[in-house]
Amino acid sequence: MSLDKNPNSQRKKFGSWILAGTVSFGALLCLMGIAIFLTSCSSELPSEASSRIFNKISIEYIGEYQLPQDLQVKDTPVGGLSGLAYDRQQDRFYAISDDRGDKAPARFYTLKLDLDTKSPQVKFNKVDVTDVTLLKNANGKTYLKWETDTEAIALTSQSSVFISSEGDRSRNVPPFINEFDLKTGQVKQALLIPQRYLPDTEAKRGVQNNLAFEGMTLSPTGTLPASGEPVRLFAATESALMQDKIVPKVGEDGKIPGAKSRWLHYLLSNRPDVISEHLYQLDPPPLGAIEHGLPEIVSIDTSGHFLTLERSFGLTGFSAKIFQATPAGATDTSKIASFKGNTTIQPIKKQLAFDLKQLNIYLDNLEGMALGSKLPDGSQTLLLVSDNNFTKRQITQFLLFKLKQG
């Protein structure tokens, strides 16, 4: 994928592509001709095996809220929201912006949800953006333009947040996963990124542009003070590394295979380190997809179960699916230089939990997802947010769900 270096053109050009004119009828027919051979990938295992591997969960839609266009907080434009984290103590969400310093310095926002939980049906009234925190580097200064492309955020119990940046291959800016003070935004530490993720000059190794550490989460113990359990951080690339990337083509099974993302597992001890890595296999992209990736992962228990968000953009607009996933039994790929031609790797197991197309509403560029507050019936809220790419052609869309486990 080519990268437009002008930030005003917007990341991945989602907004402009979707409204920038019509696709020729002949080209569309060609795509449809190829696509008739595609079948949807079944992400579900046989029910008996699934009951042993996955939690019993259900996801129920509550409602939608859209932020006003041109909303500003402390002279910063609210947009590009790409990751979410929930603060149970304060009943607040934190949302990272993927602005590369073009409109304001790297930053995250504090959000408050207005919910009516007294009615038989929970009502999602609005989202208030109450504050903004600017990120600061080791010198105590805000990051310069192009130094960051922040995409994911995870809250610890130590009044800090881990934030990932995709970097920028074209500018020789490496990705990072750093810890920042929650109140001041000052960087506290940087996690070691394995060499295989760092871009080289020959474009043979490392993350692709705009397809690096998009999804990140902490184990639930990481948000509980004095839990006594080791804190674990998980980070996943949105798509394949350069050395794992293959030319997409229709296979013998009539499907175009999805990308092979890498999923890192850190143990956050006194000396944080990667203790394992796994392959996350994305579903085949839907008909007419231009972009298809893994923008978010969320840990939902201490037994190694996650929710993952797979998001696509193409001729028919945006689409998204939520899966339940578990690395149990997956191959440790930390010593595997490339996935190309390797058919022995056992990927992370996953099962479709919710296809958002069944909502029958407009979906925007959904990139952030986080568990939220508990509801009176014992279920938990699940919040999704879209990245509007700082264009009026798109919206900052919040979708609220009810997650039941067990």
Kindly report, residue by residue over 47-98, the tens digit of the pLDDT. Answer: 555 567 999 999 999 999 999 999 999 999 999 999 999 999 999 999 999 9
Query: pLDDT at position 250, please?
Result: 76
The residue ranges of the chain whose pLDDT is under 70 are 1-51, 226-227, 251-252, 254
Query: pLDDT at position 259, please?
Result: 96
Query: pLDDT at position 227, please?
Result: 66
Per-residue tokens: 312? 């696509």
Query: pLDDT at position 296, please?
Result: 98
- pTM, full prediction: 0.88
Question: What are the structural domains, with CATH classification, of the chain?
Answer: 7-405 (2.115.10)
Query: pLDDT at position 211, please?
Result: 96
Torsion over CA: 399, 83, 243, 30 (sign): positive
Alpha-carbon span 108 to 173, nearest angstrom: 20
Query: pLDDT at position 50, please?
Result: 58
Q: Which residues pair with 324 in a beta bridge?
A: 307, 351
Alpha-carbon span 148 to 144, nearest angstrom: 8
Q: How many CB atoms lie within 10 A of CB 271?
A: 7
Q: Which residues pair with 115 in a beta bridge?
A: 124
Alpha-carbon span 208 to 1, nearest angstrom: 8
Is the separation of the CB atoms in 134 and 74 below 8 Å? no
Per-residue tokens: 141? 């200064």
228: left (phi over 0), alpha (psi -120 to 50) or beta: left
Query: pLDDT at position 13, please?
Result: 43
Is the separation of the CB atoms in 321 and 308 below 8 Å? no
Element (H, E) at 33: helix 25-35
Question: CA–CA distance from 82 to each of 166, 214, 305, 384 (Å)?
Answer: 12, 8, 22, 10
C-alpha angle 325-343-47 in degrees, rounded to nearest 5: 35
Query: pLDDT at position 3, please?
Result: 35
Question: CA–CA distance from 100 to each of 104, 149, 170, 256, 284 (Å)?
Answer: 8, 5, 14, 32, 30
Query: pLDDT at position 55, please?
Result: 93
What is the per-residue pLDDT across 15-41, written as a single tens digit (0 to 9) for each?
Answer: 444 434 333 333 333 333 333 333 333
- State which amino acid sits at residue 53: I
What are the residues whose beta carbons fall under 8 Å from the beta carbon of 253, sequence distance 6 or more? none
In 228-342, which ranges are continuous DSSP H helix? Answer: none
